[in-house]
């Protein structure tokens, strides 16, 4: 297959042009500005929204969506104030688009229950194809942070655990951090069937397959030793940030967060037993974006320090 040498770039004013990807790494990223890139991958072109570092620095923060990840944008860009919050920081924000019900992992095969034809290869994309592509714009392959909400929370930690050369910080907000915990596969199966009729067995195989343990952040906690970690969860009790949500949405978010808080507690017990420092904040709140926005605000000083941009 011919090498792809161009990306479609969409600027904040809405115009679209063809921009050649630099053939050699440049010294500095484009300073500031928001663009949408189409990045070649084994899954086909993947849309990635990017907010360039304010002063052309090479550090980057990857932000992963939840289970409902839309196909046209990252919810981080529409459901939080992240673009404003990091506007003056010398860190490129990287928003992969898509990955609906993928858990941002490499699947064994396409889902057999919804007509999917392409095998999800999100770990490969996020740790090889995307950083290689961004390196052409001056983004470091090694000075990165990663955070994720809900589905993206466990992925953020497992990606950091298995790719320590890439990530210097990891954060999980309301993540399901212990998928091998007895019975949790049933919850995941139901959620994935509801969100796109995806078949859990096609992701990591049957429960007990080694892929399950490899993709369990709690099981892999030892690999996170020495990495700054920030874990958050609500306790399932509505708080002030739920005031604008419909009653039905709040009830659903209460139930999901009651599971996330168990996961956060299990992860905290595991890291404490191993003597691994990890900041774990459990507060009032449910499984909704306003709380993840607050979590990212709280994490920002840790992220900037880890990336050398404090």
Based on the number of CB atoms within 10 Å of its own CB, is 203 exposed (0-12), middle (13-18) or buried (19 or more)? buried
* Residue 257 is among the residues annotated as catalytic for this protein: yes
Residue in 101, 233, 287, 309 annotated catalytic = 287
Which residues have CB under 8 Å from 72's CB, separation 6+? 47, 97
Active site includes 150? yes
Q: Are 107 and 120 in contact (CB under 8 A)?
A: yes
d(CA 183, CA 259): 12
**Residue 24 burial by CB count (10 A; 0-12/13-18/19+): exposed, middle or buried?**
exposed
Structural tokens at position 57: 């620095």
Q: Are 68 and 100 in contact (CB under 8 A)?
A: yes
How far is Cα 294 from Cα 80, in angstroms, rounded to an integer? 9
Catalytic residue among 36, 123, 257, 309: 257
Q: Which of 150, 174, 233, 295 is catalytic?
A: 150
Distant-in-sequence, close-in-space partners of 211: CB < 8 Å, separation ≥ 6: 108, 203, 204, 205
Active site residue 11: no
* Positions marked active-site: 150, 257, 287
């Amino acid at each position: 297959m011919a090498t792809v040498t161009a990306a479609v770039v969409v600027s904040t004013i809405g115009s679209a042009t063809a921009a050649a990807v630099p053939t050699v790494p440049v010294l500095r990223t484009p300073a500031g500005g928001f663009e949408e890139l189409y990045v070649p991958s084994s899954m086909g072109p993947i849309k990635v929204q990017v907010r360039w570092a304010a002063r052309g620095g090479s550090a980057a923060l990857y932000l992963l969506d939840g289970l409902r990840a839309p196909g046209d944008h990252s919810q981080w860009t529409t459901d939080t104030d992240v673009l404003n919050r990091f506007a003056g920081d010398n860190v490129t924000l990287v928003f992969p688009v898509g990955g609906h019900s993928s858990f941002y992992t490499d699947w064994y095969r396409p889902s057999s229950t919804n007509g999917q034809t392409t095998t999800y290869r999100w770990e490969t994309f996020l740790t090889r194809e995307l950083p290689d592509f961004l390196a052409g714009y001056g983004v470091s392959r090694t000075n990165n942070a990663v955070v994720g909400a809900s589905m993206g929370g466990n992925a953020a930690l497992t990606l950091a655990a298995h790719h320590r050369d890439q990530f210097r910080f990891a954060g999980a907000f309301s993540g399901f951090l212990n998928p091998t915990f007895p019975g949790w596969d049933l919850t995941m199966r139901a959620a994935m069937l509801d969100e796109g009729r995806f078949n859990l067995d096609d992701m990591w195989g049957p429960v007990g397959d080694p892929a399950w343990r490899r993709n369990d952040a709690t099981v892999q906690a030892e690999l996170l030793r020495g990495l700054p970690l920030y874990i958050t969860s609500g306790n399932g009790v509505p708080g002030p940030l739920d005031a604008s949500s419909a009653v039905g949405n709040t009830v659903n978010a209460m139930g999901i967060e009651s599971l996330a808080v168990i996961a956060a507690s299990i992860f905290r017990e595991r890291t404490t037993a191993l003597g691994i420092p990890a900041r774990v904040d459990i507060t009032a709140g449910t499984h909704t974006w306003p709380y993840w926005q607050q979590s990212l605000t709280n994490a920002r000083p840790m992220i900037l320090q880890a990336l050398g941009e404090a």
